[in-house]
Amino acid sequence: MLGSEHDDLRDAVRHMLDRADVSWTGLCRQIGVAGLAVPEQYGGAGATLLESHVVLEETGRVLARVPMLSTVLATQALLLSGNAPACADHLPGIVDGSTSATVLWADSVSETVACVLDGDVADVLLVATPDGLYLGDSTHRVHTPAMDESRRLATVRLSGGTRIGPPAPRLRDIALSALSAEQVGAAQRCLDMTVDHTRTRVQFGRPIGSFQALKHRMADMHVLVETARSISYAAAENPDLAAVAAAHCAETLSTVAGEMIQLHGGIAITWEHDAHRYFKRAHNSAQLFGQPHEHVARLVDVISSRRAATT
C-alpha cells in the first residue's frame, strides 16, 4: 500500500514540522501538501488521498497548528461538486496556501454552526447540506475556546450561499478517514514518548521499561496503534471503511493517551509535559465529526445493506 515515495514524503514533512519556524505557506509551497489529492489542472500533484493521509499522520504526530485537515476536506468538497468554474476559482489559491478554506455541515445555509474547523479564519466556507454543496456566506464568526488548544474551532452564523453542486454524502466519509490519520499519528507519538520514558526512568535500580508488566502494556499499545494505522490507510482507499476507521482510531488514541499518562506517572499531569495535550486531542477528535457510537451505527447500516443485496 505504501512505497518509498510515501516514506520520502513523510520524511520531508516531518523535517519541516520539526522546525520552529514552520508555516502553512511553507508546507504548501515547498512540499505541496495542500494539493496532493488535487488534479494537476488546478495546480495540484494529481496524487490520491493516501498521500494526504501520510501528511495528516505527521501533523497529528506533533499536533501541528496548521489547517491540513480542513484544507483536505475543502479541496475534496470542491472536487465532489463537479463544478469546474468553482474549482478553477478556488483550488489554485488553496493549493499554494494563499487562500484558506474549510467545510461545515448544516441543514441549511441560514443557521448557526458550532465547532467549525478553522471557521473564523477561512477565506472560503463550503457548506454541505442535504440538498447540495454551497459556497457559504456568513454574518458572524467567532473563535470558540476549546480544551484542545491545538485545534482551531469557531462558531459560524450562515447568511445564505451559492449552490455549486449536488449533495455529497461521501464527504463525511472522507472527513472521518482523514481524521483517523491524524489520530494514528498522535497515538504513535504517545507510544513513542512512553517507550522513551520507560527506558530512562529508573526505579529499584532498573529502568521501569524492563518490568514485564509494563512491557505487556506497551506491547498492547503497539498492537492498537498498528491496527489503527492499517484501518486508517484502508479507509483512505475505500471510504466505505470510514466508519470502522473513525470508531477504532478514536478509541485507540483515547486508550493510548490514557496509558501514556499512567505509565509516565506524576510528570504526565504537569502543564510542562506534552501528555495532557495529546489526552485533550484524543477527546476533542472523538467528537469532531460525530460520536463513536454513531459511526458504529453507520457501519451496521453498511453491513446490513450489503447482506440484503446478496440475498
Type of residue found at 293: H
pLDDT given for residue 298 in this prediction: 80
Cβ 214 vs Cβ 187: under 8 Å? no
Element holding 112 (H helix, E strand): strand 112-117
Mean pLDDT of 160-181: 96
The residue behind cell 526505579 is 203
Q: Where are the domains of the chain?
A: 4-168, 171-310
pLDDT given for residue 299 in this prediction: 79
Type of residue found at 177: S
**Total number of residues shown for the chain:** 311
Mean pLDDT of 284-300: 85
pLDDT given for residue 1 in this prediction: 66
pLDDT given for residue 292 in this prediction: 77
Mean pLDDT of 122-148: 94
The DSSP letter of residue 148 is -
| Whether the predicted pLDDT of 49 surpasses 90 | yes
Mean pLDDT of 84-109: 97
Strand partners for 93:
none
Mean pLDDT of 31-40: 97
What does the buried/exposed string (b/e) look like for 83-119 if buried means 16 or more CB atoms within 10 Å of the residue's CB? beebbebbbbbbbebebbbbbbebeebeeebebbbbb
Q: How many Cα atoms within 13 Å fall on the side-chain side of residue 7? A: 4
Q: What is the pTM of this model?
A: 0.94
- By percentage, how much of the chain surpasses pLDDT 90? 76
Mean pLDDT of 11-21: 90
Q: Give 287: exposed, middle or buried? Use CB within 10 Å, 0-12, 13-18, 19+.
A: exposed
Cβ 158 vs Cβ 264: under 8 Å? no
The mean of the pLDDT values for the chain is 93
Torsion angles phi and psi, residue 111, rounded to 5: -140, 175
- Assign residue 205 a region (left: φ > 0; alpha: ψ between -120 and 50; beta: otherwise): left
> Which among 94, 116, 98, 118 is positioned nearest to 44, based on CA atoms?
94
The residue behind cell 514552520 is 22
Which of the four CATH numbers 3.30.930.10, 4.10.95.10, 1.20.140.10, 3.50.50.60 does domain 171-310 have?
Answer: 1.20.140.10
| Whether the predicted pLDDT of 266 surpasses 90 | no
| Whether the predicted pLDDT of 209 surpasses 80 | no
Mean pLDDT of 268-292: 90
Q: What angle do CA 305, 301, 52 make, to 5 degrees?
A: 105
Cβ 199 vs Cβ 207: under 8 Å? yes
pLDDT given for residue 119 in this prediction: 95
| Whether the predicted pLDDT of 290 surpasses 90 | no
Neighbours of 272 (CB within 10 A): 6
Torsion angles phi and psi, residue 138, rounded to 5: -135, 145
Q: What does the alpha-carbon distance between residue 101 and residue 164 come to, in Å, rounded to a whole number?
A: 15
Lowest pLDDT segment from 45-59, 131-145, 154-168, 285-299: 285-299
pLDDT tens per residue, range 58-96: 999 999 999 999 999 999 999 999 999 999 999 999 999
Q: How many Cα atoms within 13 Å fall on the side-chain side of residue 49? A: 28
Name the band, by pLDDT with cuts 50, 70 and 90, for residue 136: very high
Mean pLDDT of 187-196: 96
| Whether the predicted pLDDT of 38 surpasses 80 | yes
Beta-sheet pairing, 153-165 with 112-117: antiparallel
List CB contacts of 39: < 8 A, sequence separation 6 or more.
46, 79
Q: What does the alpha-carbon distance between residue 145 and residue 267 come to, in Å, rounded to a whole number?
A: 26
The residue behind cell 463550503 is 126
pLDDT given for residue 61 in this prediction: 97
3-state DSSP call for residue 286?
coil
Q: What would the CATH number be for the domain defined by 4-168? A: 1.10.540.10
